Every structure is written in structure tokens, then in C-alpha cells.
Copies of this chain bind each other. A is one copy, B any other.
């Protein structure tokens, strides 16, 4: 985008929607062009002498650091664990890079790191290398955490955003938008009481269970920033397929739905931190669903729609009232610093 160099970075460039997609495809991909990066998946899978490894990274800038259901510590661990899990990998090792603002109470740092450690134990991963930078007051806001992770991809597993086929069923492992709403209500000091908690959770065991139960699954994705709507669009584009989802089948917690109605948010575009999407061949869809529902993080899993051959790259929602609505990629930032 040579003519666009006069523009400045906006919040939308980080929102996981259209502008972020454009930044990736127009600046980052051409610049760092290579086949592994071009997979455009949650993580990259590369061959070693024996076996394949997955490698992924994610940075967390969530505000506030602590919110109902979790903290930046758990997010930073689960985020990278889940990116690896969505490659079909068994997450093994993490790195952690901290950027701390001068003045952060040591007790807050300790609490965040303790919660990170607990999340690592739950996911079965180890922190093996790290780095800490402290910046002067005002040069960063409290604490940012980057994690990168390495996982082992079992033989025979081939997962990618381009693996959806017409006829596949689309599965979602539980309710949408819990994380987005939990952070939002905490941040805005909302007057109303809410029991909504972040869904931050490790998805590696559930992902492996799904792949064991439904070996035909070729697409896994965790709908974080940009939500389910954006993640489905990415898959539809990469697989060159259409998708139809049923509004009536989309799991949403009633409290989350209520807050979304009140504030004018669409749960399809709010962040999730412990949910996964998968596309499963029709004859294996029930087995995949059962595997999800057997997980403590997948009890409300549902089949939400179907992959189609019509209108490749387009996601359509059949509404409750019998209409048909196009589900576009998120445009603009709904909630900055949500993860």
C-alpha cells in the first residue's frame, strides 16, 4: 500500500477485522513472504528431521489486568496454548516476554504470574525462557505480556484454514462473547451487576479429543479478537467455500445476550478466549460434538451451521425470523485492549 504510507495506525488495525486483515495481507505478508507465514493460521507448522512442530505467538494488552474469570496471566498462557491446539499440536513449551510499567505494584505482578503458572499446569506446558523489560511511567500501561509457544504435531494431523469442504458441519464449542463482555463490564465500572465471567481456558485436550473422535476434521480455529463472525469469514475465504449458520443454534448466555442488547454489541463479533470452531465432515459431526460436550469447556457445544458450495468466501446467517443476513468480517474496533 505505497500510497497509504501517509496514514497512521489506528485502533482498527489491531481489531482482528478488515483493517487488521489488510495490514497483514498488504504489508506484513509481502514483506516477510514465505510459505510458512502464508499459511495465515493461528500458528505455523514446520518440519524437523523427525516430526512436525507448531510455533505461535500472541501479545496481551488487556485492560484491566484482572477481570471476572481471569487475568492477563491466564490469557497469555491460554492464548498461545490455544493457537497451538488449533494447529492440532500438543503444546509443550512457552516463552514469556514481559513489558512492565515502572510503578506496577509487585503484588500485582506476582498475582498475574501465579495465575499464569496455574494456567500452565492446567494446560500441561512449561515456561522455559523469558525476558523482562521495565519502561518508565507513562511509556506503557501497567503490564503487557507476550508468549510464544512450541507444540508437537502428531503424525497424520493436517489442520489449516483451507480445509473446509461443502457439506461439512460447523461446530462451536460453547457460548459466544463471554470474555468480551466480562472485560467490558469490569472496565467500564458498569452500574449493573453481572455474573458474566471470561471463558479463558486451555483447549488443547478438547481439540485432541475432537480429532480422535472425528479424524476427518481439517479446520480448527479459536474465535478470539473479531469473534465467531470474523473467524468464520477467514475460514470461508481461505477454503473458498460459503457458510450458512443458524441464528437459533448459536449458543449465547442469556446475561451476555442481555448486555449485548443493552449496549448495542453483536456477540458474533466479541472476543472468546476458551472456545473453538471446527468444520467436520457430516458423518463425523455428531462424534465431534460429543467429544466437545465431554470436555469441561465444551458442555454447551453446538452444531451451528454448514459449509456450502455457494458464494465462496461469504458467511450467511439464517435468522430466527426466517430472514437471511450476511455476516461480514468485523469492521472497526468494538473493544480495544480486549485481550
A-side residues, CB < 8 A to B, are: 1, 4-15, 20, 23-24, 27-28, 31-32, 34, 36-37, 43-44, 46, 48-51, 53, 55-61, 63, 93, 95-107, 109-110, 113-114, 117, 120, 126-136, 138-141, 144, 146, 148, 150, 152, 336-337
Known: A59-B97, A93-B44. A28 touches B105 (CB 8 A): no
Q: Is the interface of A mostly helix, strand, loop or mixed?
A: mixed
Give the chain B neighbours of A36 by CB distance below 8 A.
Answer: 93, 126, 128-129
A28:B113 contact, CB within 8 angstroms: yes
B59:A129 contact, CB within 8 angstroms: no
Give the chain B neighbours of A1 by CB distance below 8 A.
Answer: 106
Give the chain B neighbours of A28 by CB distance below 8 A.
Answer: 113, 130, 132
- A39 to chain B minimum Cβ distance, whole angstroms, is 8
Among B13, B96, B99, the residue within 8 A (CB) of A134 is B13
B134:A57 contact, CB within 8 angstroms: no
Closest B residue by C-beta to A139: B141
Give the chain B neighbours of A114 by CB distance below 8 A.
Answer: 31
A132:B13 contact, CB within 8 angstroms: yes
Q: 6 A–B contact pairs at CB < 8 A?
A: A14-B100, A48-B48, A55-B128, A95-B148, A99-B99, A140-B140
- A331 to chain B minimum Cβ distance, whole angstroms, is 15
A48:B51 contact, CB within 8 angstroms: yes
Known: A49-B50, A104-B9. A61 touches B99 (CB 8 A): yes
B106:A4 contact, CB within 8 angstroms: yes
Q: How distant is the Cα of A104 from the Cα of B5 in the complex, in angstroms? A: 11
- A113 to chain B minimum Cβ distance, whole angstroms, is 5
Q: How distant is the Cα of A11 from the Cα of B120 in the complex, in angstroms? A: 28
Closest B residue by C-beta to A144: B99
Give the chain B neighbours of A104 by CB distance below 8 A.
Answer: 8-9
Among B37, B59, B128, the residue within 8 A (CB) of A99 is B59
Given contacts A32-B117, A44-B93, 20 further A-B contacts (CB under 8 A): A5-B106, A8-B105, A9-B102, A11-B102, A14-B133, A20-B132, A28-B113, A31-B110, A34-B126, A36-B129, A37-B129, A49-B51, A55-B128, A57-B97, A57-B130, A57-B148, A58-B97, A59-B146, A136-B336, A139-B140
Q: How distant is the Cα of A134 from the Cα of B6 in the complex, in angstroms? A: 18
Q: How distant is the Cα of A106 from the Cα of B9 in the complex, in angstroms? A: 6
Give the chain B neighbours of A105 by CB distance below 8 A.
Answer: 5-9
Closest B residue by C-beta to A107: B5
Give the chain B neighbours of A100 by CB distance below 8 A.
Answer: 9, 13-14
